[in-house]
Structure 1
Amino acid sequence: MGQTKQGVTIVTGAAGALGSCVAKKLSDKGLIVCAIDVQPVPEQDGIRSCGREVDLTDFEDVRRSIAEIVDLWGPIENLVNIAGGFVWETLAEGSVETWNRMWAINLQTALHMSMASLEQVKASKGSIINIGAAGASQADVGMGPYAASKAAVEKLTQSLSRELRPVGARANAILPSILDTPANRLSMPEADMSAWIPPDEVAHLIGFLLSDSARCINGALIPITCGA
């Protein structure tokens, strides 16, 4: 794998199964990782923290957190937007509030972080990686709110990649199918888990996309589905 530079790499949603895995993987590869979440993420194993919970749906709170991170750890090079959530709800039995919630925690979190760190990423010629969803391309029953918000993440990524290209920075999105996490195993105990995606595989792909070996990859929407 090609070498990465040494600006700060922010990982959001770092208290979750995927976020914590990604933060550790990137730190192990020598990146300066700052982990943030809606709950405080303690510093451990070389992973930095801004030292408080951050409401990523609140743009002003996000801006403050970016300023704090830069003050503590230095300029931002990369941003990995993992924070998000899932709700299964049919339109007939659902509510507008569910759609608004999915929009807020899946799209607005990535949007706010990208906007607040954009100039720093541009200056460092770094990368932004968003987590979309393979299921966003064909929404099944009950998947409307989640799939719509993740489809919006894809469009944000594509537009952002064009905006970053002239300065040598990049934006890409990873579209996983079901992740093999304790929460998913608990909620779907009867499911066929053979094609579920280990978080470590997503972390490995993120590490590659942040490296110089991926410098020509920009605007990509990369499915990781085990062919399911």
Structure 2
Amino acid sequence: MTGGNGYWSGRVVVVTGGSRNIGRAISRRFAEDGARVAINGVVAGEAAHVAAEMADAGLDVAGWDADVSDPTQVEGMFADIADRFGGVDVLVNNAAVTMQGRVPFERLSLDDWDRIFAVNARGTFLCSAAAAPLLRRRAGSIVNISSIGASKAHRSAVPYDATKGAIESFTRALALELAPDGVRVNAIAPGAISNDRYESLPSDVQRTEVTSIPLGRAGTGDEIAAAVSFLASDQASYITGHVLTIDGGLTAQARQASSEIIIDIDGGDR
């Protein structure tokens, strides 16, 4: 695995939604490994603030405000990044929104649907399209952040899961399109990952949320960042069109442990 020793030294990495949670961990990982990192955020000044904190620690990071669903803002951001850093080697499409609370399908509005698709699916397309000419020049790499919701549905999260399914199909199709130019496209599908929302929950609720996970805990942003760095790196040079699931074994199981009946070698139930 990549890590330390300036592995990414001199290379340029763009992380959308890079100012919070998983995105922030990804940004920090690349920067600490020597990359020049462009952090994108949609809240005014947030990306610049996070970038300044990392720069104070000696890392080569800059922030850009841009709504990834707006083609004008996306094109402007990538033009600015290319001017400042000279090109792009890696794009991490991490920016995403979810429902404000779970909403049953019958109560979904068209605005709900359109908003989530605009950021999660349209944003992934727009940023990939803007980055592709820059990535071709350096045989770069794209890593999209999906979710286990692309293959195992969440209840009352139809539009979110639908966007993640779209992202995984997009990953495979784009991998074929860009392969002749040496540009690889892969995705990560995280399960439950500790974030601002999870950490704000009471400890008993946190325990309940991870009871169905075989490893018995939520993952961390750093664990996702390590996998993103690997897939983007030359160590994964023969991997493209792949979705890597990182979920503590959640989707590997047929059922939760509490519902299993295990037959021992003597034929008895336990």
User: Over residues 64-92 of structure 1, what are the superposed CA-to-partner deviations in whole Å (9 max), with x where a residue is unaligned?
Assistant: 11001111111111100111021121111
AA aligned opposite 1:205: A
Matches of 2:198 and 2:221, distance apart in 1: 12
AA aligned opposite 2:77: S
Asked whether the equivalents of residues 67 and 74 of structure 2 are also in contact (C-alpha less than 8 Å), the reply is yes
Matched, 1:205 2:217: no
SS in structure 1 at match of 2:108: coil
Cα displacement (A) at 1:94: 1.9
Question: Alignment partner for residue 98 of structure 2, among 86, 106, 121?
Answer: 86
Q: Partner residue of 2:68?
A: 56
Matched, 1:134 2:148: yes
Asked whether the equivalents of residues 18 and 39 of structure 2 are also in contact (C-alpha less than 8 Å), the reply is yes
SS in structure 2 at match of 1:92: helix
Cα displacement (A) at 1:5: 6.8
Matches of 2:73 and 2:150, distance apart in 1: 29
Aligned length: 227
Q: Partner residue of 2:26?
A: 22
Matched, 1:68 2:85: no
Gap runs ≥5 in structure 1: none
Cα displacement (A) at 1:215: 0.5
User: Over residues 168-200 of structure 1, what are the superposed CA-to-partner deviations in whole Å (9 max), with x where a residue is unaligned?
Assistant: 110000001121112133368623333322111
Matches of 2:156 and 2:175, distance apart in 1: 31
Asked whether the equivalents of residues 56 and 109 of structure 1 are also in contact (C-alpha less than 8 Å), the reply is yes
The 3 A distance-change label for structure 1 pair 188 and 147 is farther
Cα displacement (A) at 1:156: 1.0
Deviant stretches of 4+, over 6 Å: none
Matches of 1:223 and 1:128, distance apart in 2: 16
Cα displacement (A) at 1:60: 1.2
Matches of 2:193 and 2:160, distance apart in 1: 15
AA aligned opposite 2:71: F
SS in structure 2 at match of 1:79: strand
Matches of 1:164 and 1:116, distance apart in 2: 13
Asked whether the equivalents of residues 12 and 36 of structure 2 are also in contact (C-alpha less than 8 Å), the reply is yes
Cα displacement (A) at 1:138: 2.7
TM-score by length of 2: 0.79
SS in structure 1 at match of 2:200: helix
Matches of 2:201 and 2:93, distance apart in 1: 24
User: Over residues 68-126 of structure 1, what are the superposed CA-to-partner deviations in whole Å (9 max), with x where a residue is unaligned?
Assistant: 11111111111001110211211112211111111011111111110011111111101
Q: Higher relative contact order by CA 8 Å / sep ≥ 6: 1 or 2?
A: 1
- CA RMSD, 1 decimal: 1.7
TM-score by length of 1: 0.93
Gap runs ≥5 in structure 2: 211-215, 251-270
